A and B are shown apart, each in its own frame.
Chain A
Amino acid sequence: MRVAVVIFCLLFSMSALAQQNTLSAFETERAQLQLQIEALDAEAGDEQWADLERLQARQAVQALSTSKPRERAEALALARIVLAIADAAVRTEQLQVQLLALDREQKDIRLEASRRDAELARKEAEQLRRQVLAREEEQALADELAAVVEKQEQADSEALSQAQLKDAQLARLEEEIEAQVKQRGDVLSVRKKSGKSIYVLSASAFVPGKTGLNAEARTSLQQLAKRLKASGKAWRIEGHTDRIGNDEADLEFSRLRAEAVLNALRAGGVPGSRLTAVGLGAEKAVGNNASKAGRAQNRRIEIIEK
């Protein structure tokens, strides 16, 4: 009997201990679930993420404290599931927020890329504009320089031409003076060619280096004019020079001297209609231009019967 009582007491104590342990495990898990729901609430914060699911989870955890011992296991399992739903719902809403942020980010990236492209295009255009400006400036500078050089060259050329002309005029002047000294009294001569008369007026008929006739030549030409007028023929007056100056200047010089002779003959009574004057420059040389004597022969006016 005593043994039976001892065994009963022992069994009772063990059962009570087991119940105590079960209760303790249940309370521990309930506390853990409570902590989890609080953590989830804290995570959701003011965002109100999955508030319905979190409310259901809180209610399920609270219901544990009033559940009957035989329903505890089932209530605990249900609370775990509901808490898992709330947790997944919060995470899902977080993902939705993240997704919206990613969409915004994508728009921002494209916007930023557009801005960057626009900025690049602007910089390229600016660079191009500067290059064009630089090229234009370079070109303008080059043109300016070329114009200056050309102007200088032209001035040099003109100066050289003038100097050469002056040299030629001086040389001619010297030679004419020298020839006049030698040929004084022999201004006008005549010769025949193909039966036609050719009167030759030497350079000593002119003021040295000028196109004006000297007094002696005028007298000679007045006498010649009478003869030419009497002949009733037409006369061609050709002016000739030596080859010291340039061609253009020589042509002009010879023409002016020929016209001076024409004017003198017309003044002497020869009708102008029967007289023509041309300047031939150094084209028809009769003497050697390499010698003073030859050049003196070349400087002449020929009055040729037509």
Chain B
Amino acid sequence: MFGAVSAQSESRSERSPVILAAEQAMQQARRARADAIVPADYANAERALAEAEALVLKRRRSEADRMALRAQRLAELAAVNARYLLLKDEVDRKTTANAALRRELLMGTGVKP
């Protein structure tokens, strides 16, 4: 038990730059609301980060770094996919709005806003 606590505290105090980069990427993904918009992508990243942290506890540092790098990339992918979907939604909304506006204003089939 003491061994596990010691390993955990070690993992917190001696986090590798790769793990830190992965955690930052996760934060950015959350800021992009990836956890709500693309939950599967976000979960993949989260799983990879958890795996990397588990490897750190097992002192398999090189594997942990590789997994952390993968977690970082997956988080970046989740963030960019979330941004893409948000923008796509906005583009669809504006396309519809423009079509309606065109009908209302240029074809005279509605009340002007």
Contact = CB atoms under 8 A, between A and B. Distances in A.
Contact of A91 (B66, B84, B98): B84
B73 A85 contact: yes
Nearest to B77: A85
Given A77-B70, A92-B84, A96-B87, A102 B95 contact: yes
A40 interface: no
B105 A81 contact: no
A102 B101 CA distance: 12
Interface residues of B, number: 24
Contact of B83 (A92, A109, A112): A92
Interface string A82-126: 101100110110011011001101100110110010000000000
Interface of A: 53, 74, 77-78, 81-82, 84-85, 88-89, 91-92, 95-96, 98-99, 102-103, 105-106, 109-110, 112-113, 116
A99 B90 CA distance: 8
B80 A74 contact: no
Between B66, B76, B80, B83, the greatest number of chain A beta carbons within 10 A of the residue's beta carbon is seen for B80
A34 to B, nearest CB: 18
Given A77-B70, A85-B80, A109-B101, 8 more contacts: A53-B80, A84-B77, A89-B80, A92-B87, A95-B84, A99-B94, A102-B95, A102-B98
B93 to A, nearest CB: 9
B97 interface: yes
Contacts of B87: 92, 95-96, 99
